[in-house]
Structure 1
Amino acid sequence: MIPSVRLSPAPAAFSGSNLRSKSASIPSISSLKPSKYVVSSLRPLYLAPLGGPHTAELKPQSRQPLEFRCAASAADDKESNAQVPVQSEGAQRLKISIYFATWWALNVIFNIYNKKVLNAFPYPWLTSTLSLACGSAMMIFSWATRLVEAPKTDLDFWKVLFPVAVAHTIGHVAATVSMSKVAVSFTHIIKSAEPAFSVFVSRFLLGETFPVPVYLSLIPIIGGCALAAVTELNFNMVGFMGAMISNLAFVFRNIFSKKGMKGKSVSGMNYYACLSIMSLVILTPFAIAMEGPQMWAAGWQKALAEVGPNVIWWIAAQSVFYHLYNQVSYMSLDQISPLTFSVGNTMKRISVIVSSIIIFHTPVRPVNALGAAIAILGTFLYSQGGKTDVPATPDWQNWKEQITSNLVLHGF
């Protein structure tokens, strides 16, 4: 808390003849000891002679000693009291609602078209590459046309970003591989276990500790995911392992991002754009090695024969919406608190699971739905357990970084 300063209305008068003796009692700035708090006044300081403006008309030969009054006053009450208008609670709620609605809608659309593409064109490595390529092209065009201000980066920025991009690439490809083998709903149920990975990695590798509610929330998360996996009608080991690897990769991505990007003045939109570009550079040679142009050509002809030109629209849609929903998720974290973000992420996962079951007519047994509900509930409790991590002295940036590392930031 910054202490307040009250200015006394009583003026302090000094005459020119005794100014030298008076100044001797005033300590110099260099002799002052550094204090924990720095107090400053934004009000202007005026110096005026006691005799008023006519004192300036004194003749030089009179050599009368001049007295000055030192007093602080506001130049204009309107100017000194000007404040940035505080956004009303209703407007803030409306903005958050718009962010959530856009975020959920874009994510649901992406998952639907991504699954359509993978059903018709089952090449997850190429599909992942196209998603990153589309987003990178969109942002480069925005920078070139000055629709978005280009970030100011240096070599050190890209060095720090590299491990983040590696983890992001692995997590993205692993999630896409999972969706190519199992239902979208099953992938997202398994991905709801990401908080458990985050706690285990942070606890055993980084030595971090968490409140008791956080550890207790892992019980329904792990138990619900296990129940859903055992009762999944279309269980596939490759799909299951893909979702698990994606969880682990995204946890390391968040850790690398938290540790490396401190002090980097790059907005959420540009940060994700740079991340997409570097991930694209990393992924492209591996996609060619894993699948290759010959497999892609054969699969493309088969997709056109079975689906028709619609597959082109599906690929374009899943690529565009993948980038857009990630952009909105990064941008929304700059506008809302991490805890609000985590609650929204939990609700988003529910919307993806429900919508995919309805659209793709995924068979779900009651016990399977129960496992999914328990896992999602555990994720919600996990995000609420992070409230105990708030420090006594509010420091928004540190609090944001501390909680963000414990959240499920993105549900790919």
Structure 2
Amino acid sequence: LLSFIGLWYAFNAFFNVQNKLILNQFPYPWVVSWFQLASGLLFVLPMWFTKLRAPPKVDRSLVLKFLPIAALHCGGHGLQVSSMGAGSVFFTHVIKATEPVIGTLVLLAFTGKIAPWWVNACLTPIVGGVAYAAFKPGTSFPLSDLVGYASLAALGSTVAFSIAKLLAKSLMGKETKQKYNLTAPNNYAFLTICSTTLLLLPSALGEGGAALAAFQQMPDQLAFARQLVACGFLYYGYNEMGFRVLDLLSPVSAAVANSLKRVAILLAAVLFLGEQVSTRKIIGSSVAMGGVLLYSLAK
């Protein structure tokens, strides 16, 4: 279990670092997102074909169950990558710390259910911390960072992932998992196949021509292609490790592990990308992350 958690944190942190380095030289986030999803297939398909891992039992019914989840997953991933391309990795993940707030609103909108007041009270430091981190005193619109493209894309990504999680819980019950051999790794692998298929046409139509022209101008195309595939492996690896870890941990332990994961990403952004972080952002992000942990434990 500890090795899974270590790999989860490491893959996640280095994916975010490599993703930002790629976007700095190749600003086509939707094409990059598609390649990251597709790279995962280079890992999982050989595992299935060689029987190193028993494949899921796929039929039309399973595909139809997965399609809406996959659409939200690939959209959420594309928006997440777009956010990091437009802004800093650090601030993107500060914004994405609002996941419990978004998740609460999504649950209320789709099911009418709401957690007890003491649980929702823990959302206050999350909102306050994010607002404080984004606040720019002395400007005409102090919270302008919250309505910039990077922030809106990060929020859109969080909404998409929150709805996807809700759908996954309602569609993928214990009986479905047993019937289709949907182990934690197989679950994410099949989701990746569906997401890769759905994102191909939109990414090609939206950015394909410009991305191809930019790639052809690169001095070392092979090195960049290797970097792109390696980043995709990191993305696939951290998601598979996440599925494995969350499948093994209790809800409380999973909440703590997930909160610490985002802290690891913020540290990686500062240490490996050299992102400049103000005292205000450090305080605000710390308060927000503390709120995430409190909410997760209270829930």
* TM-score normalised by the chain length of structure 1: 0.67
Whether the 8 Å contact between 2:48 and 2:55 is mirrored in structure 1 is yes
Aligned with residue 335 of structure 1, among 248, 256, 275: 248
Whether the 8 Å contact between 1:120 and 1:311 is mirrored in structure 2 is no
Whether 2:37 is the aligned partner of 1:145: answer no
- Counterpart in the other structure of 1:186: 91
Q: Within 1, Cα distance between the matches of 2:149 and 2:243? A: 29
Q: Within 2, Cα distance between the matches of 1:338 and 1:162? A: 27
- Counterpart in the other structure of 2:159: 248
How far the C-alpha of 1:213 sits from its partner, in A, is 2.6
Q: Within 2, Cα distance between the matches of 1:313 and 1:334? A: 31
How far the C-alpha of 1:197 sits from its partner, in A, is 0.5
Cα displacement string for residues 53-112 of structure 1 (whole angstroms, at most 9, x for unaligned residues): xxxxxxxxxxxxxxxxxxxxxxxxxxxxxxxxxxxxxxxxxx3x2221111011111111
Q: Which has the higher helix share?
A: 2
- Counterpart in the other structure of 2:185: 269
How far the C-alpha of 1:153 sits from its partner, in A, is 2.4
Whether 2:40 is the aligned partner of 1:132: answer no
How far the C-alpha of 1:150 sits from its partner, in A, is 0.8
Number of residue-to-residue matches in the alignment: 288
- Counterpart in the other structure of 2:59: 154
Q: Within 1, Cα distance between the matches of 2:170 and 2:149? A: 32
Whether 2:220 is the aligned partner of 1:312: answer no
Q: Within 2, Cα distance between the matches of 1:138 and 1:234? A: 42
Report SS of the residue matched to 1:334. Answer: helix
Report SS of the residue matched to 2:111. Answer: coil
- Counterpart in the other structure of 1:92: none
Whether the 8 Å contact between 1:233 and 1:364 is mirrored in structure 2 is no
Query: Which stretch has the larger CA shift, 223-232 or 318-327?
Result: 223-232
Aligned pairs (5 A) from 1:9-408: 95=1, 97-231=2-136, 235=145, 237-262=148-173, 263-264=175-176, 265=178, 266-292=182-208, 294-302=209-217, 304-305=218-219, 310-386=223-299
Higher relative contact order (CA 8 A, sep 6+): 2
Percent of paired sites with the same residue: 31
How far the C-alpha of 1:341 sits from its partner, in A, is 1.4
**5+ unaligned residues in a row in structure 1: which ranges?**
1-94, 387-412
Query: Which stretch has the larger CA shift, 129-138 or 223-232?
Result: 223-232
Q: Which amino acid aligns with 1:124?
A: P
* TM-score normalised by the chain length of structure 2: 0.92
Distance 1:318 1:233, change over 3 A: farther
- Counterpart in the other structure of 1:408: none
Whether the 8 Å contact between 2:269 and 2:275 is mirrored in structure 1 is yes
- Counterpart in the other structure of 1:72: none
Whether the 8 Å contact between 2:129 and 2:283 is mirrored in structure 1 is yes
Report SS of the residue matched to 1:363. Answer: coil
Query: Over alpha carbons, which structure has the higher Rg?
Result: 1
How far the C-alpha of 1:310 sits from its partner, in A, is 4.2
Report SS of the residue matched to 2:14. Answer: helix
Distance 1:212 1:286, change over 3 A: same
- Counterpart in the other structure of 1:57: none
